[in-house]
Structure 1
Amino acid sequence: MWFWLISISNLLLDQLSKYWITKSFTQIGDTIPLLPKIFHFTYVVNTGTAFSFFEGGVVWLRWISLGVSIGLIGLFILGERMEIFEQLGYGFILAGALGNGIDRFFFGYVVDFLDFRLINFPIFNLADISINFGIILLFSANIFPKSSNDLSH
């Protein structure tokens, strides 16, 4: 239950936020300072992965996104029972993989807009946050002892 709830809700948030950015900004590079010199919404596109690695690799990256998504769904449906952190972790990763994968398949690039200028960090999106948060949750699930109160799928 948690896997699907997290996957679907975060995928919707990601896609709605990207839609809002593409409709609210007229040109790539446009920016709105929410906290000047600290945090902006800046409309950029990325044909690579995080931090723009593999720039221009959208053709093969779309297939990796699809493969990861299918693999995670298969793991959840066919795999063993998962505890809450595992369900949440895999759910967040699925949401991020699907969110950026949809962009790659339909547009040929990923829409990024979260711009932390205070630390000069690369611009990213909610799908990227989901993937990273999912990894943290899976890491936590492996560090902390498993409880006897696991939630089955």
Structure 2
Amino acid sequence: MIYIISLIAIVLLVGIDQAIKFWAAESLIGKGSVEFLKIGDTEILNLSYHENIGAAFSSFSGMRIFLIIFTSIFIIAGLYLIITKKIKKPALLWSVTLIIAGGIGNLIDRVFRSFVIDYFEVKLFRFAVFNFADCCIVIGAVLMVILFIFFDKSDKKETKNDAKA
């Protein structure tokens, strides 16, 4: 059942991502930077429309076909792991779910628009403009790293104990 929920979550997250991008394209083009989150006189987060022809932090700019193929391979691999129920740990399943959803959201943009719509602009400090799909990918990746660094020790202990026997 958790695997079906994971697939439904992917569809919902991609839907949210695409809805926000549609809104951004309709509402933010030509408006510059619009205040979104402000504390006192300090701007924290603004909304602004940007077309990103690369990947994270505009890396791989102009390499659309490569990014489409690379992203597609990872999405297919992740979906395979979910559909065949290869992922046994729920937290790992959710990290893969987030990464796949974000990947699909940005892949849709690359295929149909030739660029990815970004709209979150951090004003508190200089940072890249990003989108909801990027947030899903980063949160999923950070969760995966945390799982492997801090919570994967039981598997290593079992392997060491098996080796001693």
1:7-28 deviations in Å (ceiling 9; x for gaps): 122111111110110011233x
Structure 1, gaps ≥5 residues long: 148-153
1:144 and 2:141 equivalent? Answer: no
Identity of aligned residues (%): 28
What CA distance in whole angstroms lies between the structure 1 residues aligned with 2:129 and 2:29?
A: 18
1:137 is displaced (CA, Å) by 1.8
For residues 2-21 of structure 1, what are the structure 2 equivalents within 5 Å?
2-21=5-24
RMSD of aligned residue pairs (Cα, Å): 1.9
What CA distance in whole angstroms lies between the structure 2 residues aligned with 1:26 and 1:80?
A: 43
Q: Deviation above 3 Å: which 4+ runs of structure 1? A: none
Structure 2, gaps ≥5 residues long: 155-165
User: Counterpart of 2:91 in structure 1: which amino acid?
Assistant: F
User: Could you say which residue in structure 2 is the equivalent of 1:85?
Assistant: 91
For residues 72-111 of structure 1, what are the structure 2 equivalents within 5 Å?
72-111=78-117
User: Could you say which residue in structure 1 is the equivalent of 2:160?
Assistant: none
What CA distance in whole angstroms lies between the structure 2 residues aligned with 1:63 and 1:75?
A: 18
The structure whose Rg is larger is 2
1:79 is displaced (CA, Å) by 4.8
Q: Give the structure-2-normalised TM-score.
A: 0.80
Distance 1:8 1:146, change over 3 A: farther
SS at match of 1:30: coil
What CA distance in whole angstroms lies between the structure 2 residues aligned with 1:145 and 1:53?
A: 31
Bigger relative CO (Cα 8 Å, ≥ 6 apart): 1
Q: Give the structure-1-normalised TM-score.
A: 0.86
- Larger % of helix: which? 2
Contact 1:83 1:146 in 2 (8 A): no
1:43-74 deviations in Å (ceiling 9; x for gaps): 00100011011111112111212111111111
Q: How many matched pairs?
A: 146
